[in-house]
């Protein structure tokens, strides 16, 4: 990671710093993993590398109840976006597709806060 991208590292919550430095849900999901879990693989791409922000979501969906068994992502974008997508992947697990699509950026930002009254991201990096 290029730390020049993070102008004011101390303006990020500790949770955001941890998610940027060591995302737990970053990566793809293979067909073999999907088969082992007994689900169906769903892949969704958003944005473009040319515009500087591309996200690919990978979900393994349980065919019996449409719940998300596993969630991962790959990204080409800012460090703050890595943190938000890592939190999103975590929050999607065990939710139905309908419930997962209700997750908002504002909700993600709230879960990344160290303190409910202090924003997780500096104002310049907040998309809410």
Question: For residue 73, what is the DSSP state?
Answer: E
For residues 47 and 21, what is the distance between their CA atoms, to the nearest angstrom? Answer: 23
Residuewise pLDDT in 10s, the chain (128 residues): 444 444 477 788 999 999 999 999 999 999 999 999 999 999 999 998 888 789 999 999 999 999 999 999 999 888 888 999 999 999 999 999 999 999 998 999 999 999 999 999 887 655 54
Contact between 61 and 39 under an 8 Å Cβ cutoff? The reply is yes
45: three-class secondary structure by DSSP: strand
3-state secondary structure of 69: strand
Q: What helix, strand, coil percent values describe the chain, rounded to 5? A: 40, 25, 40
């Amino acid at each position: 990671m290029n730390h020049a991208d993070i102008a004011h590292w101390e303006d990020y919550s500790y949770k955001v710093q941890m998610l940027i430095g060591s995302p737990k849900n970053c990566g793809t999901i293979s067909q073999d993993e999907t088969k082992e879990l007994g689900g169906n693989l769903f892949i969704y791409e958003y944005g473009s590398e040319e515009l500087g922000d591309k996200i690919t979501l990978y979900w393994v969906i349980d065919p019996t109840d449409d719940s998300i068994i596993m969630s991962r992502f790959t990204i080409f974008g800012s460090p703050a976006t890595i943190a938000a997508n890592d939190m999103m992947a975590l929050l999607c697990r065990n939710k139905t597709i309908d419930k997962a699509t209700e997750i908002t950026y504002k909700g993600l930002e709230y879960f990344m806060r160290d303190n409910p009254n202090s924003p997780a991201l500096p104002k310049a990096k907040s998309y809410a």
